[in-house]
Amino acid sequence: MSKPIVAIVGRPNVGKSTLFNALAGENISIVKDTPGVTRDRIYADVTWLNHSFTIIDTGGIEPESSDVILSQMREQALIAMDTADVIIFLTDVRQGLVDSDAKVADMLRRSSKPVVLAVNKVDHFERQMMDVYEFYNLGIGEPVPISAEGKQGLGDLLDQVAAHFEDSRSAEEGDEIPKVAIVGKPNVGKSSIINKLLGQNRVIVSDVAGTTRDAIDTTVRWNGKDYVFIDTAGLRRKSKVREELERYSIIRTVTAVERADVVIVVIDAVEGITEQDAKIAGIAHDRGKGIIVAINKWDAIEKNDKTVNEFSGKVRSILSFMPYAEILFVSAVTGQRLPKLFDTIDMVLENQTLRVATGVLNEILTEAVALQQPPSDKGKRLKIYYMTEVAVKPPTFVVFVNDKKLMHFSYLRYLENRIRESFGFRGTALKFIVRERR
């Protein structure tokens, strides 16, 4: 299931980071087996009651002068309007309603995205409510009083946010057309691949009133079947600040990946694989998406009979947290193996939704346990009672055990490998949930 994206927008010092951290809490997704992948707090996964969503912080503004602040706020708002399903517009009751708030509110009002207005630093609800009402004047709805620091009012805020989820996603959830996100660093050849698939040069960058947005989904028909390609390349933001560009590109990647069933991580063969590629791949891995690593520009490499193996080896070692990923050597210029790309997408899609019958799964479990004894600690041995697949996309297994603490990561990995030996599940992560049953 793709999770909704929620963006926080607001002036410097209104408390965006504080709110972000309060919402993300311990839920921030740090995957233990993703080495070298640092998670800066640009995005985090949040679970609220029965809602899961991804929250993004549209970013740092250096408060220099008021007109710089305003232009950067506009930039933030545009990023949010580009990427988010719901926007939280955060204001500060202590500073009161200021002019730049009103200007950004005007922008947000014109966008089609739902906006929830939050007024922060309401540490004393009774005393400050009169000041909160002032924010009605922004004309973007009822202000929700919160204290990000005191963790007050967050439930009400999230209720309002979640109320908008239904309509934003249901349209997309219903259709059966596979969605494929093409992600990767700049200049690895993302647009070239899409253009080649389309068989024509399409102008992707559309410059609407100083912003670059829209029209990044492309439907490609292949063998009578439709695929939607979500392109992150077309949107290039003009910013002189490197960190801002990086933040924007990560936000774009997260939002594209979130909507996708299968993610193609494009890597430049000439440049070789880097840690930044791993970081991008890690975003897809964390989200349990189907993954294909496309090594592009394969035409430009001098090859002998060892090149493929050597290159694969390097990719496997840098992407060691996702050994299941499919690797393809392609060229957007010559079109080499692009047809194979579609076969691989189909295969990965199938694996993402593959269901293994519980009986079969437990036969594998019994055999696995017999071959390699589960770990023990202080004389107590892990007992695994039962295993069942409870969800797909990604395939998710619940393992019932006597004591969760005894389940080592390495033993789970072992069980995963046994399952993969029987069913492959190539191109997709598998998720395991360990539950205690006494």
Q: Which residue positions form the known binding site for GTP?
A: 10-17, 57-61, 120-123, 184-191, 231-235, 296-299
DSSP 354: -
Cα 185 → chain centroid: 16
Residue length, the chain? 438
- Candidates 4, 15, 59, 114: give the one binding ligand GDP (CB under 6 A): 15
Q: Strand, coil or helix: what is 292?
A: strand
Q: How far apart are CA 335 and CA 19, in angstroms?
A: 47
> Which CB, 274 or 376, lies closer to ligand GDP?
274
DSSP 328: E
47 binds ligand GDP (CB under 6 A): no
Return the biggest CA–CA distance within the chain. 76
> Which CB, 191 or 253, lies closer to ligand GDP?
191
Sign of the dihedral defined by the CA atoms of residues 381, 386, 389, 391, in that order = negative
246 binds ligand GDP (CB under 6 A): no
- Candidates 54, 72, 147, 352: give the one binding ligand GDP (CB under 6 A): 147
- Candidates 9, 14, 56, 161: give the one binding ligand GDP (CB under 6 A): 14
Mark the segment that binds ligand GDP (CB under 6 A) among 133-141, 143-151, 205-213, 320-328. Answer: 143-151
Q: How far apart are CA 197 and CA 345, in angstroms?
A: 14
∠ CA 106-72-287, nearest 5°, is: 95
Q: Strand, coil or helix: what is 149?
A: coil
Q: How far apart are CA 181 and CA 273, in angstroms?
A: 19
- Candidates 24, 148, 228, 347: give the one binding ligand GDP (CB under 6 A): 148
CA-derived radius of gyration, the chain: 24
> Which CB, 201 or 219, lies closer to ligand GDP?
201
Map the footprint of ligand GDP across residues 327-346, applying CB under 6 A.
331-333
- Six token digits for residue 429: 């992560």
296 binds ligand GDP (CB under 6 A): yes
Q: Measured from the CB of residue 431, what is the shortest distance to ligand GDP in angstroms?
A: 30
276 binds ligand GDP (CB under 6 A): no
Q: Binding pattern to ligand GDP, positions 165-204, x when CB under 6 A? A: -------------------x-xxxxxxx------------
Which residues of the shown chain bind ligand GDP in the complex (CB under 6 A)? 10, 12-18, 120-121, 123, 147-150, 184, 186-192, 233, 296-297, 299-300, 331-333
